[in-house]
Amino acid sequence: MRFNKIKMTKEGKIQMEYEVENSKGGRDEFSFSCSEEPKPAFALALNDLAQDILSMCELPADYLQRIRVSGISLSYGGENETMGAILIGQMILHKSNIALNLNTPHKIEEFYGETGDESQLLDPNCVARIEVLISEAEDYVKGIRAQANLFEVKLKA
């Protein structure tokens, strides 16, 4: 399973786009929007990326509490299908009744070739946080959510 988008709307709805390799060697694409609440770890993993939005958008450290992460767009490029990401969030403004939309620059996990500019790269700690979010998103797709596992069969004794 390879995610292209993971998002939580301000209403708490989960939206995802992902691909699954099919038997013909290609990829089937799936997308859905669901109002079922995720595990608390999902929201924590998403919000943990606020520090990365702060860093990539070069915002002052004291803005951290004003940032709400709403999603991530993922891409895969180059020979090695290197992961790239854009983090999406909003920042609460004190003198406005709506939030400021924030989209980070697109950054990649590693260089597509042998060289590149270090400023193109995702911080390794950010990559680790993205991997945690992807793991939580996989659980959500599998039906492991805030309530009991949707697909777990309970046997009577």
- Domain borders along the chain are 2-141
Alpha-carbon separation of residue 3 from 42, 46, 63 (angstroms): 15, 14, 29
User: How far apart, in whole angstroms, are the C-alpha atoms of residue 7 and residue 127?
Assistant: 17
**pLDDT at residue 75, rounded to an integer:** 96
User: How far apart, in whole angstroms, are the C-alpha atoms of residue 18 and residue 35?
Assistant: 18
**pLDDT at residue 100, rounded to an integer:** 96
Assigned token pair, 38: 């995720």
**pLDDT at residue 149, rounded to an integer:** 55
User: How far apart, in whole angstroms, are the C-alpha atoms of residue 69 and residue 89?
Assistant: 4
**pLDDT at residue 82, rounded to an integer:** 93
Kindly give the confidence (pLDDT) of every residue in the chain, 157 residues in length, as a single tens digit, with 9 standing for 90 and above: 999 999 999 898 999 999 999 999 889 999 999 999 999 999 999 999 999 999 999 999 999 999 999 999 999 988 889 999 999 999 999 999 999 999 999 999 998 877 778 899 999 999 999 999 999 999 999 998 887 555 555 555 4
Stretch (H or E) spanning 32: strand 27-34
Q: Tally the C-alpha atoms within 13 A of residue 9's C-alpha that lie toward its C-beta.
A: 10
**pLDDT at residue 54, rounded to an integer:** 97
**pLDDT at residue 115, rounded to an integer:** 73
**pLDDT at residue 10, rounded to an integer:** 86
**pLDDT at residue 156, rounded to an integer:** 52
Q: For residue 146, count other CB atoms closer than 10 A to its CB.
A: 13
Taking the whole predicted model, whether its pTM rises above 0.75 is answered as yes
**pLDDT at residue 114, rounded to an integer:** 73
